[in-house]
Amino acid sequence: MRHGIVLFTSDRGITPAAAAQAAEENGFHTFYVPEHTHIPVRRHAAHPGTGDETLPDDRYTRTLDPWVALASAVTVTSTIRLATAVALPVESDPITLAKTVASLDHLSGGRVTVGAGFGWNTDELADHNVPADRRRTVLREYVEAMRALWTQEQASYAGEFVSFGPSWAWPKPVQAHVPLLIGAGGGPKTLAWIAAHADGWMTTPTERDILPKVAALRAAWADAGRAGRPEVCVLAAARPSAEDVAAWEEAGVTEIMWGLPDRPAGEVVAFLSRHAARLGL
């Protein structure tokens, strides 16, 4: 089972490049960053953690652009995977985003993983003209359109929310298939969406009953006729016990994601070193 690092980026503390470099030097497999384009002051959407319009952390209003953050890490790393946890693709233009992801994969030598969410903050989505009740459909079309641009010499797509005629778009990603993981609550609807359209699941910070949900995902995967097994990345909201970790690995969890604070670089690098030693990396 692999171990990844999530930096909830902000305009304070350690930079993404420094954090990614230290994570790689300490043996972590993946470096993740989040996305929020903005947070509307007046909102109706409840945060999944607080249950109302309040936010658990002011970093939601201060996050860096994820693709700029990951690009800054490209030249100071060589092996660690560069990922989002999670990005909100439907808040960008799909043709432009496909170019951004392909460019990052090209420059990093094929190290990009797209972790995407449907978007809990429906007020944020509304400012991007994304209907809350159609956001799963919008994301599906974005994914299909981007994959066409990544893999076809003359790409085109015709959908309800995305449509473009035959087009050229280079660079293509180095990877033949850019992995897509979905970060969302593990209900039946989400697990079925993953089995149909994605490569794996990222748990939410408030996720409960992980083991039966992993089993349900694998069943949905088999029902969809998918080969192999889905990726499962567990976001460790609190320090799990050794028994939890062993049970996750036995159930098929492929990576544990550990969070970093936006503290000064020296504090974060020291934490990474201690944590890697605890994990035996």
Q: Digits of tens for pLDDT over the chain (281 positions)? A: 999 999 999 999 999 999 999 999 999 999 999 999 999 999 999 999 899 999 998 999 999 999 999 999 999 999 999 999 999 999 999 999 999 999 999 999 999 999 999 999 999 999 999 999 999 999 999 999 999 999 999 999 999 999 999 999 999 999 999 999 999 999 999 999 999 999 999 999 889 899 999 999 999 999 999 999 999 999 997 789 999 999 999 999 999 999 998 999 999 999 999 999 999 99
CB 171 within 8 A of CB 151: no
Record the pTM. Answer: 0.97
Structure tokens at 170: 């280079």
What is the C-alpha to C-alpha distance for residues 68 and 71, in angstroms, rounded to an integer? 5
Nearest CA among 72, 97, 79, 77 for reference residue 87: 97
What is the C-alpha to C-alpha distance for residues 84 and 70, in angstroms, rounded to an integer? 9
Q: Name the domain count of the chain.
A: 1
Structure tokens at 260: 């970093």
Q: In which domain, by residue range, is 242 found? A: 2-279
What is the C-alpha to C-alpha distance for residues 149 and 87, in angstroms, rounded to an integer? 19
**CATH number for position 239:** 3.20.20.30
AA identity, residue 260:
L
Largest interatomic CA distance in the chain:
53
